[in-house]
Structure 1
Amino acid sequence: MPLTKQEFTPKQKALAINLDSTIYGTFAEIGAGQETVRHFFRAGGASQTIAKAMSAYDKNFSDAIYGKEIYNRYVTQNRLRKMLRYEVSLIEERLERKNYPKTRFFSYANTVTTINFEKTYKGHGWVGIRFQVDENEEYNEIVIHVKFRENNATLQQETIGNLGVNLIYGAFKYSDNPRRLIDSLYDDIDLDNLEIDMIDFNGPVFKYVDNRLMSLQLVKNGMTEAVIFNSDGRNRLPADMLYRKNIFAVRGSFRPVTNVNLDMFTNGLKMFMKDAECNDEETEVLFEITIANLRSDGDIDERDFLDRVDVLAKLGYTVIISNFSEYYRLIDYFASYTSKKIGIGMGVNNLLMVFDEDYYKNLSGGILEAFGKFFRKDMTVYLYPYKDVKTGELLDSNNLKVTDNLKELYKYFKLNDRIKDIIDHNPAFAEIYSREILRKITNCESGWEKDIPKSVSEMIKERGMFGYKEEVELKQFT
Structure 2
Amino acid sequence: MAIILKGDQEINSVPSTKSKALRINLNANIYGTFAEIGAGQETVRNFFRAGGASGTIAKAMSAYDKDFSDAIYGVGKNGRYVTETRLKKMLVHEIELIEDRLSRNKHPDKLFFSYANTVATINFSKKFKGHGWVGFRFQLDPLEDYNEIVLHIRFKETDARLQQETLGILGVNLIYGAFYMNDNPKELVKSFYDNLDKDQLEIDMINFSGPRFMYVDNRLMSLQLVKNGMTNAVMFGPDGNNLLPAQVLYKKNILAMRGSFRPVTKVNMDMFEKSKALFFAEKKVDPENTKVIFEITLSNLRAEGKINERDFLDRAELLCSLGQNVMITDYQEYFKLVEYFSEFTKERMALGMGVYNLIQIFDEKYYRHLSGGILEAFGKLFYRDLKVYMYPYHDQESGEYITSENLKVHPRMKELYKFFKNNGKLVNIDDFDPKILDIFSREVLRMIKCDEDGWEAMLPEGVSEMIKTNRLFGFTRKRIKK
TM-score between the two structures when normalised by the length of structure 2: 0.96
Q: For the residues of structure 2 that align with 1:301 and 1:443, how far apart are their CA atoms?
A: 19
AA of the residue aligned to 1:457: S
Q: For the residues of structure 1 that align with 2:440 and 2:67, how far apart are their CA atoms?
A: 60
Q: Which of residues 80, 84, 91 is equivalent to 1:84?
A: 91
Q: CA deviation at 1:22?
A: 0.6
- Written as runs of structure 1 = structure 2, the 5 A alignment for 1:215-226 is 215-226=222-233
Q: For the residues of structure 2 that align with 1:22 and 1:287, how far apart are their CA atoms?
A: 46
Moved more, 433-442 or 249-258: 433-442
Q: For the residues of structure 1 that align with 2:141 and 2:400, how far apart are their CA atoms?
A: 66
1:312 equivalent in alignment to 2:292: no
1:460 match: 467
AA of the residue aligned to 2:229: G
1:244 equivalent in alignment to 2:247: no
TM-score between the two structures when normalised by the length of structure 1: 0.97
AA of the residue aligned to 1:410: Y
Q: For the residues of structure 2 that align with 1:253 and 1:123, how far apart are their CA atoms?
A: 34
AA of the residue aligned to 2:185: P
Q: CA deviation at 1:87?
A: 0.2
Q: Which of residues 18, 21, 25 is equivalent to 1:14?
A: 21
2:446 match: 439
Q: CA deviation at 1:442?
A: 1.2
Q: CA deviation at 1:192?
A: 1.1
Q: Which of residues 420, 434, 448 is equivalent to 1:413?
A: 420
Say whether the 8 Å CA contact 1:253–1:293 is kept in structure 2.
Answer: yes
Say whether the 8 Å CA contact 1:6–1:188 is kept in structure 2.
Answer: no
1:427 match: 434
2:30 match: 23
Q: CA deviation at 1:461?
A: 1.7
Deviations 1:192-235 (A, max 9, x none): 11000000101001011110000010011010111111111011
- Written as runs of structure 1 = structure 2, the 5 A alignment for 1:157-196 is 157-196=164-203
Q: CA deviation at 1:2?
A: 4.2
Moved more, 406-415 or 24-33: 406-415
1:145 match: 152
Q: For the residues of structure 2 that align with 1:434 and 1:35, how far apart are their CA atoms?
A: 50
Q: CA deviation at 1:278?
A: 2.7
Q: Which of residues 86, 104, 108 is equivalent to 2:115?
A: 108
SS in 2 for 1:106: strand
Question: Gaps spanning 5+ residues in structure 2: where?
Answer: 4-10
Shift in CA distance, 112/6, structure 1 to aligned 2, threshold 3 Å: farther
Q: For the residues of structure 1 that align with 2:354 and 2:383, how far apart are their CA atoms?
A: 19
- Written as runs of structure 1 = structure 2, the 5 A alignment for 1:226-237 is 226-237=233-244
SS in 2 for 1:337: coil
Q: CA deviation at 1:277?
A: 3.6
- Written as runs of structure 1 = structure 2, the 5 A alignment for 1:42-441 is 42-441=49-448
Q: CA deviation at 1:390?
A: 3.1
Q: For the residues of structure 2 that align with 1:69 and 1:134, how far apart are their CA atoms?
A: 32
Say whether the 8 Å CA contact 1:383–1:421 is kept in structure 2.
Answer: yes
Say whether the 8 Å CA contact 2:29–2:111 is kept in structure 1.
Answer: yes
Moved more, 36-45 or 454-463: 454-463
Q: For the residues of structure 1 that align with 2:151 and 2:283, how far apart are their CA atoms?
A: 34
Q: For the residues of structure 2 that align with 1:264 and 1:380, how far apart are their CA atoms?
A: 14
Aligned length: 474
SS in 2 for 1:97: coil
Q: For the residues of structure 2 that align with 1:280 and 1:177, how far apart are their CA atoms?
A: 42
Q: For the residues of structure 2 that align with 1:26 and 1:457, how far apart are their CA atoms?
A: 50
Say whether the 8 Å CA contact 2:151–2:203 is kept in structure 1.
Answer: yes
Q: For the residues of structure 1 that align with 2:103 and 2:78, how far apart are their CA atoms?
A: 38
SS in 1 for 2:171: helix
Deviations 1:241-297 (A, max 9, x none): 001000001101001111110111101110011115433320000101111111111
Q: CA deviation at 1:60?
A: 0.9
Say whether the 8 Å CA contact 1:6–1:187 is kept in structure 2.
Answer: no
SS in 2 for 1:41: helix
Q: CA deviation at 1:417?
A: 1.2
Q: For the residues of structure 1 that align with 2:342 and 2:402, how far apart are their CA atoms?
A: 30
Say whether the 8 Å CA contact 2:351–2:389 is kept in structure 1.
Answer: yes
AA of the residue aligned to 2:315: R
Q: CA deviation at 1:131?
A: 0.4
AA of the residue aligned to 2:394: K
Q: CA deviation at 1:391?
A: 2.6
Say whether the 8 Å CA contact 1:6–1:184 is kept in structure 2.
Answer: no
Q: CA deviation at 1:63?
A: 0.8
AA of the residue aligned to 1:135: P
Q: CA deviation at 1:476?
A: 5.5
AA of the residue aligned to 1:358: K
Q: CA deviation at 1:98?
A: 1.9
Q: CA deviation at 1:462?
A: 1.8
AA of the residue aligned to 1:147: R
Question: Gaps spanning 5+ residues in structure 1: where?
Answer: none
Say whether the 8 Å CA contact 2:285–2:348 is kept in structure 1.
Answer: no
SS in 1 for 2:75: coil
SS in 2 for 1:420: strand
AA of the residue aligned to 1:461: K
Q: For the residues of structure 2 that align with 1:155 and 1:122, how far apart are their CA atoms?
A: 12
